Amino acid sequence: MFIHFHIALSALLTVVCMICTSANSSAKFVNEYSPKSHISPKVMGLSYGQKPPTLLAQKKRKKRGKVKKGGLRKKKDMTAIVSETCAACTNLEGFVPPQKISDAIRRLVGKYKGGGGIVNVEIQRRRGIIETGLYPKFIGGGKCPQIDSEKWAIDYTYKRGKAALHRGVDIPQPRGTPIRAISDGTIVGRFLNEGRKDGIAVFIRHDPKQTGLPFWTYSHYTHLLEMSPLPIGSKVKMGDEIGKTSNSGKMGKRVRRDALHFAIFYSEFPEWSNDGSVVTPRDGYAMDPNAFYRTKPPYDSQSILKLVNDKRGVPVPYMKMDHTFLPPDTKRIWPYPCL
């Protein structure tokens, strides 16, 4: 009997050892075949193109958690891009929290994430982004940098792959050319716009006394070479340098030439906001930048359309190379000096 018991005990111990060995091997497989392991898949019974289920699961989790450049997660729903409130703005005249501004204004200025391009375009057209036929006639025959083919309100659907409009004008100049403040004002926005087409941008707010116009205007300068050294809240004088020309911003298949994208927004109300992504005037509208230089109404695009053709040329004042103005008493100038 003792001999039979001894044999049974030995068999039992053998089985236990086999189980332990199997468990240790499994643990070794799990621990060693991690992302840091260099063990060949062949050792694990896998083909060279095949990955273990644990790694596939990790890869899927990483994809689900992927964040687009610029810190914005890709979503299909219609969501306004609202970043942290501009702390430096809170004590500036007219500033209100971002939630006080309608999402329609974010669609107007082109900083609305998601939603259909057609919806955005409809709002933009209702708020002034329609071709007016205006063109600049520089006073005294001045030789000024001209708007190129990228004119006001032209259809940008072919560039964007969805319904889109050009919300400003483009003025090409060599890289590094200084850009000038078009009127006295206050810096109310400066944005890197990483991962966006507009690139480095600056917003200046101008009150009615500064421009001589019957509303508050916001001049927008984009594709700058580098961030403007002027902090938010800085007071600028007409003709001050606010940045340098470049082609910053996300590009498509073609390399963008160096040019200033110049835009104007306006409102009858003094309130505005900066959500860390864009400046939005309360109940704002877009203005053909050429209309900004008109000396009398109309300024809105719908009314300008009713003008006869010989009224579409706009006398534009400017700063000369010697930093004097033409005419001397002007309150508004072209964003580049002229000969």
The count of other CB atoms within 10 Å of the CB of residue 328 is: 7
Dihedral in degrees, nearest 10, Cα atoms 261, 267, 269, 273: -30
H/E segment holding residue 103: helix 103-109
Greater confidence, 157 or 167?
A: 167
Of 42, 54, 291, 79, nearest to 169 (Cα)? Answer: 291
Beta strands in 43-128 (DSSP E): 79-80, 112-113
The single-letter code of the amino acid at 174 is P
Name the residue with tokens 């864009």.
Answer: 278
Model confidence over 105-140: pLDDT tens digits?
999 987 766 556 888 888 889 999 999 999 999 999
**Rounded Cα distance, 209 and 220, in Å:** 19
Other Cβ atoms closer than 10 A to 306: 8
Residue 283 has pLDDT above 70, yes or no: yes
pLDDT computed for residue 68 by the predictor: 45
**Residue 60 pLDDT > 80, yes or no?**
no
Amino acid code (one letter) for 111:
K
- In 3D, which of 200, 316, 192 has the Cα closest to residue 247? 200
Q: How far is CA 192 from the centre of its chain?
A: 8
Average pLDDT over the chain reads 79
CATH architecture of residue range(s) 87-326: Distorted Sandwich (2.70)
| pLDDT, tens digit, 9 for 90 and up, residues 223-257 | 999 999 999 999 999 999 999 999 998 877 777 78
Query: Across residues 2-29, what is the average pLDDT?
Result: 47
Identify the pLDDT of residue 14. Answer: 53
pLDDT for residue 31 is more than 50? no
Given a cut of 60, is residue 16 above it in pLDDT?
no
Hunting for tokens 């060599």 — which residue is that?
174
Share of the chain above pLDDT 70, in %: 71
pTM (2 d.p.): 0.74
Segments making up each domain of the chain, as ranges? 87-326
Average pLDDT over residues 302-310: 89
The b-or-e profile of 18-30 (16+ CB within 10 A means b, else e) is: eeeeeeeeeeebe
In 3D space, the residue among 139, 54, 149 whose CA is nearest the CA of residue 339 turns out to be 139
Residue 181: band (very low, low, confident or very high) from pLDDT cuts 50, 70, 90: very high
DSSP assignments along 148-175, one per residue: -SS-TT-B-HHHHSSS-B--SEEEE--T
Cβ(293)–Cβ(316) below 8 Å: yes
d(CA 164, CA 100): 26
pLDDT of the residue at 11: 52
Question: Cβ contacts of residue 247 below 8 Å, gap of 6+?
Answer: 175, 199, 223, 255, 256, 257, 258, 259
DSSP result, 189-249: EEE--TTSTT-EEEEEEE-HHHHSSSSEEEEEEEEESS--SSPTT-EE-TT-EEEEB---S
Q: Give the span between the Cα atoms of 135 and 157, in whole angstroms.
A: 23
